[in-house]
Structure 1
Amino acid sequence: MHSILIIAPNWIGDAVMTQPLLASLKAQYPESKIDVLASTWVAPIYRACSEVHEVIEAKFEHKQLQWGLRKELAGKLALKKYQACFVLPNSLKSALIPWLASIPFRIGYRGELRFGLINVALDNPSKVNRPPMVEHYLALGQLLNGEHASPTNVNITPKLNVSNPAHHSVQAKLKTAHIDGSHIYVMCPGAEYGPTKRWPTGHFAELAQSIATNNPNNQIILLGSKGDHSLALEIQSKTKGDGHIHNWCGDTSLDEAIALISMSKAVISNDSGLMHIAAALKTPQVAIFGSSDPAHTPPLSDKAKVIWLNLPCSPCHKRECPLGHLKCLNDILPAQVLATLNTLPS
């Protein structure tokens, strides 16, 4: 197997959790070239994976078929003569490109009317008994050797690398902002899924002030997408303009975010893509869970601590609290997070 294509998931956290699959494939086929077709917003994850030969970026849009784009990509990919393709999203449209490109083995989970488009398949696990996501993706790696093949001996904790250009870019930004790079704490207040994954901004603000008070050299950088910028502004307003707290939401590329997280003393985040990046970089972290299940999507790192209240109503997996009180997050107090932060390994 000398050439393999991966169709990447569309979410950053899911993309991080596919890295052990790449490592498994590389272990099975050491001479293979593994290319990844990814949307522009998750492509940086695969640039941080040492197993990847080439990242092919595509301007995919959520919930859009984009038939012309997919047909054009398939034509270009057909010239590369891939022997196998792993289709990691469950959607019909994600399976179209490898089928149009006539890739012989098209591997993935059954679902969304993909019969024929996927020709080497596993049944999707039930929502009640879902395995951790890393194991979910890893299971596909054995299909080329038969469904009952022994799993490859591969580390199931994702691992990312930092590019030198991104590292130098972040160093320059820190210097311009007069931020001491040796005392950075990163806070990630966003979560794309919705409010039931977002710890209250008031709690983030109180924690940020406590960290700044503990050591005047400490600097807190609020990190996230442009969509998280308003959350970060709320946090800043509740800290009354504390000069130790900096809003970088929407001001960094994902490559730069990876570099910044790698050099920080600790990360405090919700269950989000940046949480998984911190885990894959082995940065000390506190991960706050609300409506989601830490058994299914935990930060896979021995330097991570999870805070989850495990209330009778959770995990509900809803975007909005169905009971209207959001106790699963509101009742996680800043003092508890600070105490957990102080127990992290360095």
Structure 2
Amino acid sequence: MKILIIGPSWVGDMVMSQSLYTKLKMLSPNATIDVLAPAWCKPILERMPEVDNALEMPIGHGEFNLLGRKTLGKQLQKKEYTHAYILPNSAKSALIPWFAKIPVRTGWKGEFRFGLLTDLRADKRVFQYMVERYVALAYDKETMRQQVDLKACPQPKLSIEESSQQAAILRLGLSQLKPVVGLCPGAEFGPAKRWPDKHYAEVASHLIKSGYQIWLFGSAKDQEVTNKIRSALQEAEQDYCFDLAGKTSLTEVVDLLAVCQTVISNDSGLMHVSAAVGCNIVAIYGSSSPKYTPPLTTKLQMVHTDIECRPCFKRECPLGHQNCLNKLMPQQVISAINSFTSST
């Protein structure tokens, strides 16, 4: 088998898609796997041993560009792929393998994909979790329901490069003398996934007083939030809180998260990266639910409120109060952290 994967566009989904690549290699050890995905996913793909080549998608996310897709498909036709797996649900995502004339094109039923896929799977709702839907594509449609459940899905495992890890620690002036807890307070999806910065600051203060140091992770967009968290600490506590938001590449983030004993995160891509590098995870849920895309790890505590209006899956609170997050108290997260200590 020579396989082309049309990969997802979000970091968290890309991490979960590794479960499919692992399963494909288990079923066909000699298969080669190339993944076509946006450039920002390349650092993640390069840490997946199952992936032979990470191919950069030259067409922007959401852009149709029929001519560009045809041109790319014709270029890929020269590689003589035997199978394609199309993970996004859009029609445009299925065009490139069709133009590439890949004989077997597998994916779930989506918008106007009849004819574009040769192996069309009818109803993804038979599987609750996204990772199950990915892994099910590795099996034929007649047996996938018997073969796949969450326990049978391989957990993502990103490789760590120790030399790169130590280089990043040196460049950023970090130390490993105290155990590290990572905080990931951002959420690309929207504010209805972001636990309040004042709650994060209270947890950070507690952890620093307990002998830990804090590393704050995020993109440049998260700097306002991470700065608020660090600024809310007492001056002496700030010496043990390091704001890395916007200062690291995604490759460095992968390596630095692996240093963390525990990571506290909103429902975000970095939550899934943290799980894939082996951290203890405290996953905070507001408007979303762990019943669809939980972190794929056994070292997990999930925290959320049980108010009637959640989960609503909205980017912003439609009721204006955001109580699903505001009423999730720091002590609940601290208790979740302590559960890892008590279980060892």
Query: Deviation at 1:182?
Result: 5.0
CA contact (8 A) 2:218 2:244 kept: yes
For the pair 1:18 / 2:13, whether they are aligned, the reply is no
Q: Which amino acid aligns with 2:218?
A: G
For the pair 1:239 / 2:230, whether they are aligned, the reply is no
Q: How does 1:248-267 map to 2 (within 5 A)?
A: 248-267=244-263
For the pair 1:166 / 2:164, whether they are aligned, the reply is yes
1:97 aligns with 96
1:291 aligns with 287
1:336 aligns with one of 301, 308, 332: 332
Query: Deviation at 1:71?
Result: 3.3
1:147 aligns with 142
Q: Report the Cα distance in structure 2 between the residues aligned to 1:199 and 1:300, rounded to whole angstroms.
A: 21
CA contact (8 A) 1:222 1:249 kept: yes
Q: Report the Cα distance in structure 1 between the residues aligned to 2:261 and 2:228, rounded to whole angstroms.
A: 23
Q: How does 1:1-346 map to 2 (within 5 A)?
A: 1=1, 3-126=2-125, 131-143=128-140, 146-148=141-143, 151=147, 155-164=153-162, 166-174=164-172, 177-180=173-176, 183-215=179-211, 218-239=212-233, 242-344=238-340
Q: Which moved more, 1:71-80 or 1:253-262?
A: 71-80
CA contact (8 A) 1:188 1:268 kept: yes
Query: Deviation at 1:256?
Result: 1.0
Q: Report the Cα distance in structure 2 between the residues aligned to 1:269 and 1:82, rounded to whole angstroms.
A: 38
The C-alpha deviation readout for 1:21-80, integer Å capped at 9, x for no partner, is: 111111111111111111111122221211111111224423222445433432331111
Q: Report the Cα distance in structure 1 between the residues aligned to 2:132 and 2:186, rounded to whole angstroms.
A: 26
CA contact (8 A) 2:74 2:100 kept: yes
The change in CA–CA distance for 1:139 and 1:220 in structure 2 (over 3 A counts) is same
- Aligned identity (percent) is 41
Query: Deviation at 1:171?
Result: 2.9
The C-alpha deviation readout for 1:133-183, integer Å capped at 9, x for no partner, is: 11011111113xx53255279543222212345324323234xx2433652
| 1:42 alignment partner, SS class | helix
The C-alpha deviation readout for 1:295-329, integer Å capped at 9, x for no partner, is: 21111211110002232111110111111111111
Q: Which amino acid aligns with 1:161?
A: S
Unaligned runs of 5+ in 1: none
RMSD across aligned positions (CA):
2.0
Number of matched residues?
Answer: 337
CA contact (8 A) 1:135 1:156 kept: no
CA contact (8 A) 1:8 1:38 kept: yes
CA contact (8 A) 2:3 2:82 kept: yes
Q: Report the Cα distance in structure 2 between the residues aligned to 1:59 and 1:230, rounded to whole angstroms.
A: 31
CA contact (8 A) 2:22 2:154 kept: no
Q: Which moved more, 1:331-340 or 1:152-161?
A: 152-161
Q: Report the Cα distance in structure 2 between the residues aligned to 1:181 and 1:74, rounded to whole angstroms.
A: 51
Unaligned runs of 5+ in 2: none
Q: Which amino acid aligns with 1:125?
A: K
| 1:17 alignment partner, SS class | helix
Q: Report the Cα distance in structure 2 between the residues aligned to 1:106 and 1:222, rounded to whole angstroms.
A: 42
Q: Which moved more, 1:23-32 or 1:73-82?
A: 73-82
The change in CA–CA distance for 1:156 and 1:114 in structure 2 (over 3 A counts) is same
Q: Which amino acid aligns with 2:158?
A: L
The change in CA–CA distance for 1:83 and 1:325 in structure 2 (over 3 A counts) is same
Q: Which moved more, 1:54-63 or 1:76-85?
A: 54-63
Q: Structure 1-normalised TM-score?
A: 0.91
Q: Report the Cα distance in structure 2 between the residues aligned to 1:58 and 1:28, rounded to whole angstroms.
A: 27
Q: Which amino acid aligns with 1:21?
A: L
CA contact (8 A) 2:108 2:124 kept: no
CA contact (8 A) 2:135 2:153 kept: no
Q: Which amino acid aligns with 1:94?
A: S
CA contact (8 A) 2:215 2:244 kept: yes
